[in-house]
Structure 1
């Protein structure tokens, strides 16, 4: 005998529906959380970049203020006086020499004079070579990523040219003469000069 029970149709599985809704809510919440987190991270990265830019600007400002200070102003004056004396002498002795030849002679004459100053006037020699030390430090900062190469060129390109013209040959000769003590003398500035030459930034 078959017994029929009224209203025997299967009722909806409310537990399954609730579980499905909960899954949807969780997924939606996860998306919202992800978007929020991404926004927070983006804001954090943006703030970090701005802070780095601000710090970089402050660093360059302090660097330039130090460069313009009397301490370095005296070194710049000594360097430019050194260069001017040699150039005037070369123009008198070789009035028909080309600009390129004058520059090459300038490097050699400067090296000779700097070696004389090493022996006779250590204070003047130190003042002139202090500019090399300045660019050696900048070159090290560039290598470590503390400052940008282009910033250095835009700020100090002309001064770097003066250092190259007056001191590069002298430094090379000092290394040759004293391969033990001076082999790493101003080694970082070499990379800066080479990069500047390759980019035609010394013209």
Structure 2
């Protein structure tokens, strides 16, 4: 069965909205981390907002390795309206997001990534279908904005890796074990 991997850029206080406002440095360790995450993925699930923003930016971007990855990968978009921008490999998810992702997990292929889509990540974490949570944590307290983990039930995690990057960002990977019973 394919793994669902949520990759998010967050502040120390958990804000995931507009990470370009608090991710001001990008170093080689962060680049290698991102390359390792996307190397195993052959599909992504995006929310409508992320899709709209990214469809206007990534097709013409030369920021590698992510541009080649996101432009070439199958993109499944959680939306209730037709996709208004053409982007190679993008399709709208018909029906229930969680049911679609569970079915997608059963198909052959590599890992399925969730990138930048806060509401999609939250829905999948709450439903218990996420296998790994990979965070890049900025050494900043932002104070306001949508937080990645707000509103979720208690979920048990197991640390897989935690290391600082040269620029002071924390690369933290967790295996999602499921709902907490305590």
The TM-score with structure 1 as length reference comes to 0.24
Higher helix share: 1
Higher strand share: 2
Larger radius of gyration: 1
Between the two structures, name the one with larger relative contact order (CA 8 Å, sep ≥ 6): 2
